[in-house]
Chains A and B, each alone.
Chain A
Amino acid sequence: MSGTATLVLLETTTSNLRSASLPAISAARKLAQVNGGPVVGVVIGSGIAAAAQDAARYVDKVLCCDNAALAAALAETWAPVLVAAIKKIDAAALVASATSAGKDILPRTAGLMGAGMASEIVAVIGAKAFRRPTYAGNALTDVEVLTPVVVATVRQTEFPPAAPAASAGTVEALPPGPIDALGSEFVALHASKSARPDLTEAKVVVSGGRGLKDAQNFKVLEELTDLLGGALGASRAACDAGMVPNDLQVGQTGKVVAPELYFAVGISGAIQHLAGMKSSKVIVAINKDPEAPIFQVADYGLCATWESTVPPLIAQIKTVKAAG
């Protein structure tokens, strides 16, 4: 049998908790209400003492596994640490945000433990029951995990970012045990640099699709994006055509976003794209084809070319902003 603690994997830089983990803390708190035990964070990496202190502001306790050989987030080395953490605190559950690291490492941890896992949960129904989207978001599926320990990743857009707790938790060292990367080696991260907010956290997202035709034309969308302080997104077709980097892709296999305001410009609205933006609060579609499926989910649809609408849109918004 397992205990009552809820363990949450917290991703960090060397000095800070990453904001991407805040929704997982919210989900862990929900789960802790039914489990009845504490929320325990686990941080893994190299030279992360400061980050562990930062993370402790949000949880009852932080387990800190700090080792030079754990600097890169390799599932081969991190999953056994998570297993050790689960055992140490006799956890009932392990959760993490569904980031690329969470999606890589948590299923391996579940596999090592023989624990059942629910992916990208959008709601906690009970200690072992969760709601999650399936079929590219065309169904919501309730699942029950049948094993003593429950593993889940959390869809970031569906849980609010957690605020710090009333009092900070303690930090405790977690010995890593034997570390074996099985020959896997991190070589480099080719990060696409952008001064804009993170796609998954931005209040406004402006996305362009194949209708933009080429990379040059994204300039006008960037202008709209920056005017609104938003993040730039894209459809798969636009990424595949090399108009923008791949990590801007919104959709079933790209990023899931749920901003206050989403612009889909020159995007047809394939279900795989809708899967990544349907939860946006207000959706605006600009498309020259009146039959484009994007209009079925758009709150405001403008049937016209982007060439004839985006430049005046920018001018008009500037006027409105200037008027306050």
Chain B
Amino acid sequence: MKILVPCKRVPNPDLKLKVANGSVDLAGTTWQVNPFDEYAVEAALRLTEKGKGGERVGEVVVVSIGPKDTSAQLKQLLAMGANRAILIAGDDGALDADRVARILGTLVVAEKPDLVLMGKQAVDGDDNQVGQILAASLGWPQATFLASILLAADGKSATVTREVDAGVEERRVHLPAVMTVDLRIVGKKAVRNEALAPATAEWEDTQRLASLKGIMAAKKKELREITAESLGVAGGILVKTLRHEAPPARKAGVKVASVEELVAKLHNEAKVI
């Protein structure tokens, strides 16, 4: 099983976002792997494992389109356990979901993975588009917003559950496919490869951290840097960002001292009960 995991670096979502003069100022931010992509890497690792901490069979390739220092995030993913990494030079300002998908598409044609596993959305742009566009451009099936993946023993199909508005939807998908993951994909028993891991297999309830051993091993792993041009991707973006603005601030509220005061305010002032 060879799994390609596209990963984006995003600004730390817990830092206060500076929005001024029509743009977002990221000069002072720290960068990290998009959380959903980190979950996708964890899921990919589990699909190549016999169990928690067990032997691994198969290959997990992480790929990012980003500036040169995205190599720091890719190294972290190698330290988590990914086998190799590809960094495609690109600047966020010259990218949109369609272009990212087209670049990834040419890489998929070259790498021929059995599965593309990725986050459902990047938490900076919040687009939630790349996986679906990639699947469309490859003519592959797609399974989005996944909470669990059970890969069949023959490696040809998977039974998945998806988080949808009305609850949880179950689907069967043929491989190769594009799958995008939601938060619960890192649950203890959310992901398993029937060919490798027994039904009793269980992992941590979250994504793994890079171990010291992993960090040492990562130093010897391949991190290839290429350009979109070398992949022969033409064309530009389809969606242009015009400007950013800070959302209107909510006007400061009040602290109430008691339940009685709260109910009085909700009844007489806000008139909502």
User: Closest residue of chain A to B180, judged by CB?
Assistant: A104
When each residue 94-130 of chain B gets 1 if its CB lies under 8 Å from chain A and 0 otherwise, what string results?
Answer: 0011100100000000000000000011011111111
Q: Are B142 and A186 in contact (CB under 8 A)?
A: no
List chain A residues, Cβ under 8 A from B152. Answer: none
List chain B residues, Cβ under 8 A from A119. Answer: 126-129
Would you call B222 an interface residue if the criterion is a C-beta within 8 Å of the partner chain's C-beta atoms?
A: no
Would you call B69 an interface residue if the criterion is a C-beta within 8 Å of the partner chain's C-beta atoms?
A: no
Q: Are A108 and B133 in contact (CB under 8 A)?
A: yes
Q: Are A139 and B245 in contact (CB under 8 A)?
A: yes
Q: A280-302: which have CB < 8 Å to B? A: 281-284, 295, 297-302
Task: Report the Cα distance A270→B265, complex, angstroms.
Answer: 26
Which of B136, B244, B267 is close to A134, meaning CB atoms less than 8 Å apart?
A: B244
Q: Are B255 and A295 in contact (CB under 8 A)?
A: yes
List chain B residues, Cβ under 8 A from A184. Answer: 141-143, 171-174
- Which listed segment binds B: A39-47, A86-94, A165-173, A188-196? A188-196
Would you call A272 an interface residue if the criterion is a C-beta within 8 Å of the partner chain's C-beta atoms?
A: yes
- Which listed segment binds A: B52-60, B74-82, B162-170, B209-217? B162-170
Q: A72-90: which have CB < 8 Å to B? A: 75-76, 79
Given A107-B132, A187-B159, A142 contacting B167 (CB threshold 8 A):
no
User: Closest residue of chain A to B272, judged by CB?
Assistant: A261
Task: Report the Cα distance A300→B134, complex, angstroms.
Answer: 45
Given A108-B132, A117-B129, A138-B247, A303 contacting B255 (CB threshold 8 A):
yes
Would you call A210 an interface residue if the criterion is a C-beta within 8 Å of the partner chain's C-beta atoms?
A: no
List chain A residues, Cβ under 8 A from B229. Answer: none
Given A182-B139, A183-B174, A247 contacting B167 (CB threshold 8 A):
yes
Q: Are A144 and B133 in contact (CB under 8 A)?
A: no
Would you call B200 an interface residue if the criterion is a C-beta within 8 Å of the partner chain's C-beta atoms?
A: no
Would you call B1 an interface residue if the criterion is a C-beta within 8 Å of the partner chain's C-beta atoms?
A: no
List chain A residues, Cβ under 8 A from B238. Answer: 114-117, 145-147
Task: Report the Cα distance A282→B250, complex, angstroms.
Answer: 10
- Which listed segment binds A: B11-19, B43-51, B83-91, B191-199? B11-19
Q: Are B239 and A144 in contact (CB under 8 A)?
A: yes
Given A110-B98, A114-B238, A75 contacting B142 (CB threshold 8 A):
yes
Q: Are A144 and B171 in contact (CB under 8 A)?
A: no
Given A79-B136, A134-B124, A300-B253, A146 contacting B240 (CB threshold 8 A):
yes
Task: Report the Cα distance A106→B142, complex, angstroms.
Answer: 13
List chain B residues, Cβ under 8 A from A14. Answer: none
User: Closest residue of chain A to B263, judged by CB?
Assistant: A316
Task: Report the Cα distance A303→B162, complex, angstroms.
Answer: 37
Task: Report the Cα distance A75→B179, complex, angstroms.
Answer: 13
Q: How many residues of B contact A (CB 8 A)?
A: 81
Would you call A53 an interface residue if the criterion is a C-beta within 8 Å of the partner chain's C-beta atoms?
A: no
Task: Report the Cα distance A271→B169, complex, angstroms.
Answer: 27
User: Closest residue of chain A to B237, judged by CB?
Assistant: A146
- Counting residue pairs across A and B whose Cβ atoms lie within 8 Å, the total is 258
Q: Are B123 and A100 in contact (CB under 8 A)?
A: no
Would you call A255 an interface residue if the criterion is a C-beta within 8 Å of the partner chain's C-beta atoms?
A: yes
Task: Report the Cα distance A229→B77, complex, angstroms.
Answer: 47
Given A100-B165, A111-B133, A246-B147, A139 contacting B17 (CB threshold 8 A):
yes
Would you call B262 an interface residue if the criterion is a C-beta within 8 Å of the partner chain's C-beta atoms?
A: yes
A154 to chain B, nearest CB (A): 14
Q: A92-142: which have CB < 8 Å to B? A: 99-101, 103-112, 114-120, 129, 132-142
A141 to chain B, nearest CB (A): 5
Given A135-B126, A188-B169, A247-B166, A116 contacting B98 (CB threshold 8 A):
yes
Task: Report the Cα distance A20→B165, complex, angstroms.
Answer: 10
Q: Are A100 and B145 in contact (CB under 8 A)?
A: yes
Task: Report the Cα distance A111→B102, complex, angstroms.
Answer: 9
A320 to chain B, nearest CB (A): 5
Which of B169, B245, B250 is close to A189, meaning CB atoms less than 8 Å apart?
A: B169
Task: Report the Cα distance A253→B39, complex, angstroms.
Answer: 14
When each residue 135-160 of chain B gets 1 if its CB lies under 8 Å from chain A and 0 otherwise, what string results?
Answer: 11101111111010000000001010
Would you call B201 an interface residue if the criterion is a C-beta within 8 Å of the partner chain's C-beta atoms?
A: no
Q: Are B124 and A135 in contact (CB under 8 A)?
A: yes
Task: Report the Cα distance A200→B165, complex, angstroms.
Answer: 10
Q: Are A272 and B13 in contact (CB under 8 A)?
A: yes
Would you call B27 an interface residue if the criterion is a C-beta within 8 Å of the partner chain's C-beta atoms?
A: no
Q: Are B184 and A246 in contact (CB under 8 A)?
A: yes
Would you call B259 an interface residue if the criterion is a C-beta within 8 Å of the partner chain's C-beta atoms?
A: yes
Which of A141, A183, A204 is close to B244, meaning CB atoms less than 8 Å apart?
A: A141
List chain B residues, Cβ under 8 A from A110. Answer: 98, 129, 133, 136
List chain B residues, Cβ under 8 A from A299. Answer: 250, 253-254, 270
Q: Are A134 and B165 in contact (CB under 8 A)?
A: no
List chain B residues, Cβ under 8 A from A115. Answer: 238
B171 to chain A, nearest CB (A): 6
Task: Report the Cα distance A321→B263, complex, angstroms.
Answer: 11
Give A contacts to B, CB under 8 Å.
Answer: 20, 75-76, 79, 99-101, 103-112, 114-120, 129, 132-147, 181-192, 200, 204, 228, 236, 240, 245-247, 252-253, 255, 260-261, 271-272, 278, 281-284, 295, 297-303, 309, 312-313, 316-317, 320-321
Give B contacts to A, CB under 8 Å.
Answer: 11, 13-14, 17, 19, 24, 96-98, 101, 120-121, 123-137, 139-145, 147, 157, 159, 161-174, 182-184, 237-247, 250, 253-256, 258-260, 262-263, 265-267, 270, 272-273
Q: Which 4 A-B pairs have the closest CB atoms?
A: A111-B136, A183-B174, A116-B238, A111-B133
